[in-house]
Amino acid sequence: GRAASEPPGDPTPLLLRGEDFEALAAASTEQLLLRWVNVQLQSVFHRPVENFGSDLQDGEAIGLLLTAIAPEALVEDFSTDHEERLEQIVDAAARCTDFELLTVAAIIEGQSDMLAAFFAQLFLSRSNLAAKPDSLLAMHLKLLEDICSEGLDAVTAQTDCSAEVMKFCVKLDDRWSEFMLASQSVQEASQTIEGLNDRMRTFLGDTLAHRAHGHPRVMLDAKEARDYLLYTSLNLEHVQSMMQKETLDSAILTRLEEILRKHFRLLRDVFRHYAGMAGCVSLEGLMKLYQDCKLRTRSLAPHHLEVIFCDHMDTAVGDRLLSPSQFTVVLIQCANLKFKDKFSQIPDQFAEFIEHTVKTHACQEDARNIFQRMAYDPKVRKVLDRHAKELKMIFLLYAMMDNSTTDAIQNVHTMNFQEFHMLLSHCNLLDETLTQGAVQQIFEGIQQSAQDEGGDAGVGRDGEDDAGIDDDEELSFSEFLDGLAAVAAYKHPDPFTPFDQRVNAFIMKFFATVRHHWSRKRTSAQVEALLNALQKKLR
């Protein structure tokens, strides 16, 4: 059971360099337990404990931990015989906690959930985090004790009590700032320890409940714990700057971080899947996620996603890639745009997005969409990246070509079907193979790949109306690139030539025909800039 009388707990040893008590709230319970174990073993164990399985299977670390925090519970020295030593460890563990949880089988088999649960139980009964005599917290405690003792002496003085009290008050006034600092520090430490205890109780109950239902909880190891912070920590100022139309506060951020922690492994797997070999998520990887998750709606169109990505790149240094922390904020922004009409609270929007979109559609290989796999092959994306500057200039020129309606005139950063068809016509690409019907099919196919299946693309979950999404829709630049790749497949169907080589050959010919068409129509500075860029490209 619990040791008789322990001084106030000091969570400071659990902090890493540069951290404050708030950092402990952001860490996972598994990470906290590993930190605690290593703090207790730092002077007696030759290596850090980084997981709840293989690092503990010989029983050595557990034995040393019990020796460090509860030496009085050990009735004898541990045996040199392995099996006998494990039995002694289990017996000693039972004397240190309120109920028996640790077993020999759990140690030998490396049952990480049960070993972590035992550590949580041990933390609650014998944390061994009392403030050390030379610690800052101990200094604050001594100051408070001295002042309280002096105050007690003053009010219980046998003679001239009023004078003694007055003298004490004057002295206290001189030391008031010290007193308040010490009081605040002790209060913060106490609240942090109580918060840790609450988390350990919740973790212990949840872990045992999972085991009782036959679904042992998977524990984070040290490497995962480092990843955990990358995917589950949000900066209020940064998120607010990315979502300026929304009002965020610490309570909303806390709820969002709870969702991130709940789905940590899912988010990490999704990030790694769409990052590929790059290690971070590019715009192409983000668009692939967008298509796989069927995210296209009027409120979350591809050009919205491109704007979100570029906003994050404005604050980035180096390559145009999303880090894990940026990726999670992008997902929150997508959830907000897609579900803001259904849920008023951002955490509710994000929970819906994760549960019913990411969890069900992300990282799923769609066997029916062979073209998408071809178009998003890294070699093909490398070709498109190499020509992206000139392709973007062409895209922006033709995005302004349709003046038939007010909407068409206003949408100068996206391309509708008439503009896409006009570009192909100017390049003499339309023939008996690539007919107007085939172009229409390409145009609609690109959009439908990012729309939800099963019925009208204009109706979302629970029947919410997205009317207008599929009548004269617009292509973003990313979708325009997919469209060119599809046209390349139509014009060069040779299966013996790698697709990336076919796409590159098509684009170079495409540049030549665009240049030929516009060389006779130098109508604006935009056209002149395009012609100069194409001349350099085609040298």
Q: Model confidence over 368-379: pLDDT tens digits?
A: 466 777 877 888
**Range 108-115 average pLDDT:** 92
The 10s digit of each residue's pLDDT in 467-478 is 334 444 788 888
Does a structural domain hold residue 197?
yes
If asked whether residues 253 and 376 sit together in one domain, one would say no
The whole-angstrom separation of Cα 11 and Cα 176 is 25
Query: Which among 405, 427, 428 has a CA at the least distance from the CA of 474?
Result: 405
Averaged over 373-395, what is the pLDDT? Answer: 88
* 345 within a domain of the structure (yes/no): yes
Picking from 284, 274, 305, 244, the residue whose alpha carbon sits closest to that of residue 474 is 305
Considering the domain architecture, whether residues 513 and 429 belong to the same structural domain is answered as yes
Q: Which residues pair with 322 in a beta bridge?
A: 281
Rounded to whole angstroms, the Cα distance separating 211 from 105 reads: 15
Residue 53 corresponds to which tokens in the numbers above? 């399985």
Q: Are residue 316 and residue 394 in the same domain, yes or no?
A: no
Q: What count of other Cβ atoms lies within 10 Å of the Cβ of residue 468?
A: 11
Q: Residue 155 falls within a domain, yes or no?
A: no
Is residue 379 domain-shared with residue 352, that is, in the same domain?
A: no
pLDDT of 273 > 60? The answer is yes
Complete DSSP assignment for 368-405? T-HHHHHHT-HHHHHHHHHTHHHHHHHHHHHTT---SS
Instruction: Report whether pLDDT(315) > 80.
Output: no
Q: Which of 296, 326, 361 is the last residue of a domain?
A: 361
pLDDT of residue 64: 93
pLDDT value at position 291? 86
Q: What is the pLDDT of residue 314?
A: 66
Residue 384 buriedness (CB in 10 A; 0-12 / 13-18 / 19+): buried
Chain centroid to Cα 419, Å, comes to: 38
Contacts 24+ apart (CB under 8 A), 129-133: 129/9, 129/10, 129/11, 129/13, 129/14, 129/36, 129/193, 130/6, 130/7, 130/8, 130/9, 130/10, 131/7, 131/8, 131/9, 131/10, 131/189, 132/10
Model confidence at 106, in pLDDT bands (50, 70, 90)? very high
CATH of the domain at 31: 1.10.418.10
Q: Which residue has the tokens 């009002």?
A: 247
Q: Could you tell me if residue 220 is inside a domain?
A: no
Q: Please report, rounded to a whole number, the percentage of residues in the chain having pLDDT higher than 90.
A: 40
Within this chain, do residues 384 and 357 fall inside the same structural domain, yes or no?
no
DSSP string covering 145-213: HHHHHHHHHHHT-SS-HHHHHHHHHHHHHHTHHHHHHHHHHHHHHHHHHHHHHHHHHHHHHHHHHHHHT
Weakest mean pLDDT among 172-186, 310-324, 428-442? 310-324
The per-residue pLDDT for range 41-69, each reduced to its tens digit, is 998 888 889 889 888 999 999 999 999 99
**Alpha-carbon span 183 to 466, nearest angstrom:** 57
DSSP string, 416-476: -HHHHHHHHHHTT--SSSS-HHHHHHHHHHHHHTTS-SSS-TTB-GGG-B-TTTTSS--B-
Backbone dihedral region for residue 453 (phi beyond 0: left; psi -120 to 50: alpha; all else: beta): beta
Instruction: Give the pLDDT confidence score for residue 447 in this predicted structure.
Output: 66
Q: By percentage, how much of the chain surpasses pLDDT 70?
A: 90
* Summary mean pLDDT of the chain: 85
Do 390 and 511 reside in the same domain of the chain? Answer: yes
Query: What is the tens place of the pLDDT at every residue in 220-243?
Result: 777 677 788 889 989 999 999 999
Question: What does the DSSP 8-state code read for residue 316?
Answer: -
Domain of residue 289, residue span: 233-361
Question: Do 271 and 297 belong together in one domain?
Answer: yes
Residues 357 and 374 in one domain: no
User: 144 lies in a domain?
Assistant: no
466 and 496 co-located in one domain: yes
Residue with tokens 């617009």: 474
With bands split at pLDDT 50, 70 and 90, how would you rate the model's confidence at 412?
A: confident
For residue 154, is it within any domain?
no
The pLDDT assigned to 237 comes to 92
165 found inside a domain: no
Note the pTM of the prediction, 2 decimals. Answer: 0.58
How many other C-beta atoms are found inside a 10 Å radius of the C-beta of residue 375? 26
Same structural domain for residues 427 and 351? no
What is the rounded distance in angstroms from the CA atom of residue 351 to the CA atom of residue 357? 10
The whole-angstrom separation of Cα 459 and Cα 447 is 15
CATH of the domain at 351: 1.10.238
Res 5: pLDDT: 43
3-state secondary structure of 506: helix
**How far apart are alpha carbons 323 and 219 in whole angstroms?**
24
pLDDT of residue 461: 42
Residue 318: partners with Cβ closer than 8 Å, 6 or more residues away: none
Residue-wise burial string across 260-293, b where 16 or more C-beta atoms lie within 10 A, e elsewhere:
bbebbebbbebbebbbbeeebbbbbbbbbbbbbb
Spatial separation of the C-alpha atoms in residues 233 and 230, rounded to whole Å: 6
Q: Residue 415 carries which DSSP code?
A: B
Cβ(89)–Cβ(193) under 8 Å? Answer: no
Q: What is d(CA 209, CA 286) in angstroms, rounded to the nearest whole number?
A: 37
In tens, the pLDDT along 511-521 reads 999 999 998 88
Tokens of 185: 């520090």
Taking phi over 0 as left and psi of -120 to 50 as alpha, with beta for the rest, 484 belongs to: alpha
For residues 192 and 337, membership in a common domain is answered with no
pLDDT tens digits, 13-44: 999 888 889 889 888 899 999 999 999 999 88
**C-beta separation of 131 from 7 below 8 A:** yes
Of 149, 136, 140, 134, nearest in space to 177 by CA = 140
Contact between residue 15 and residue 24 where contact means Cβ atoms under 8 Å apart: yes
Number of domains the chain is built from: 3
Closest by alpha carbon to 268, among 258, 256, 279?
Answer: 279
Q: What is the largest CA-CA distance in the chain?
A: 114
Token reading at 35? 């930190």
Residues 45, 116 within the same domain:
yes
Residue 380: inside a domain: yes
Contact in structure between 531 and 514 (CB atoms under 8 Å): no
pLDDT in tens, 117-157: 999 999 999 999 988 888 888 888 888 888 888 888 888 87
HSE of 122, CA atoms in CB hemisphere, 13 A? 29
